[in-house]
Amino acid sequence: MTTIESPTAAGSGTAATDKFKRERVSADTSPERLAAIAKDALGALHKVILDHGVTYPEYRVFKQWLIDVGEGGEWPLFLDVFIEHAVEEVLARSRKGTKGSIEGPYYVPNAPKLPSVCTLPMREEDKKATPLVFTGQVTDLDGNGIGGAIIELWHADEEGYYSQFAPHLPKWNLRGTIVTDDEGRYEITTIQPAPYQIPTDGPTGQFIEAQNGHPWRPAHLHLIVSAPGKESVTTQLYFKGGDWVANDVASAVKPELILDPQPGDDGKNHVTYNFALDPA
Ligand code: BEZ
Ligand code: FE
């Protein structure tokens, strides 16, 4: 019998922080722009303190909590739950193609390459979940198929765990880099993921619990779709009628991104979703 070690906030937080630290991040922000953003950000915080009459004990608890988030390696988790959706909204202003959504902390590049008709790597246990056959086409904004487009797909398993952030899962479980056919088409077999619960045993969980909030994201597929000469889109797809679709803790659901899979005669759920890419 295998022992399943439950992923902890500390475990997934540390893994997400380590991954983020390996990425070399930079932004082309002038000192003037930074000063303007910093002034407004601090001003917004000062206004909240004054409006709510925040006390010294509350200020000290806040300081301690900020320290805990850092020490627990939970900044990627906290920021992607509560902040990233606003940054994605800014990006969405300049786009006409498929709607984007947040990336979240669990993307890992270079997942195994798979052909346009494929099955994501999965464990025997995962095969007990409802299979999902996901078909469609990657096109430009005029509907022309883009041969050889790339779909990076990753998602949680039927228990809500992501490979590489939960110690009991194989490295590339439910992750793949799919290359579309000459017309941009694909047929990917995977499983229906479960809703995802933000780890509740660390400071992000405390933050949610202390205000009687819930830690759930609706079940979702993560995708990054790209092609030469096109702007890549990072997005997520959700499932109609699923728990938390109307109440996502990460505020990342958009109506255009909700799938409605239908059961087929083969015992699998089937759905079609096409991606239209903006020019680069
Ligand atoms: C997710 O999509 O899995 C996710 C997003 C934000 C924070 C944590 C997880
Ligand atoms: Fe996710």
Tens of pLDDT, residues 163-196: 999 889 999 999 999 999 999 999 999 999 999 9
Distance CA 238, CA 102 (A): 13
Q: State if residue 174 touches ligand 1 by the CB under 6 angstroms criterion.
A: no
Does residue 199 or residue 92 have the better pLDDT?
92
Tell me the percentage of the chain whose pLDDT exceeds 90: 89
| Mean pLDDT value of segment 36-65 | 98
- pLDDT in the model for residue 6: 60
Which H/E stretch holds residue 238?
strand 233-239
Residue 69 confidence (pLDDT): 96
The CA distance from 173 to 217, in Å, is: 20
The predicted structure's pLDDT at residue 14: 77
Which three-class secondary structure state does DSSP give residue 120?
coil
Structural domains in the chain plus CATH codes: 8-280 (2.60.130.10)
Give the residue among 233, 235, 229, 236 at the shortest CA–CA distance from 147. 229
User: Which residue has better confidence, 255 or 18?
Assistant: 255
Supply the residue whose CA is at minimum distance from atom 7 of ligand 1.
Answer: 81
Longest alpha-carbon distance in the chain: 63
Tokens of 89: 């909204």
Local confidence band at 2 (pLDDT 50, 70, 90 cut-offs): very low
- pTM, to two decimals: 0.93
State if residue 199 touches ligand 1 by the CB under 6 angstroms criterion. no
Looking at every residue in the chain, the average pLDDT score rounds to 94
CA distance 159 to 5: 13
Q: Which pair of structure tokens corresponds to residue 7?
A: 């992923």
Listed in sequence order, the residues at least 6 apart from 87 whose beta carbon sits closer than 8 Å to its beta carbon are: none
Q: How confident is the model at residue 13 (pLDDT cuts 50, 70, 90)?
A: confident
- In DSSP terms, 131 is beta-bridged to 191
165-197 burial, b at 16+ Cβ within 10 Å, e below that, comes to bbebbeebbbbbbbebbeebbbbbbbbbbbbbb
Does residue 249 register a pLDDT over 90? yes
Confidence of residue 23 (pLDDT cuts 50, 70, 90): confident
Query: Which residue has better confidence, 45 or 5?
Result: 45
Pocket test for ligand 1, best of 19, 81, 244 (most atoms within 8 A of CB): 81
User: Ligand 1: which residue has its CA nearest to atom 3?
Assistant: 104
Identify the CA nearest to 135 among candidates 274, 266, 264. Answer: 274
Ligand 1 near 81 CB (within 6 A): yes
Provide the token pair at 274: 């096409």
- Please state the rounded mean pLDDT for residues 128-144: 97
Among 87, 154, 196, the mutation site with the greatest number of ligand 1 atoms within 8 A of its Cβ is 196
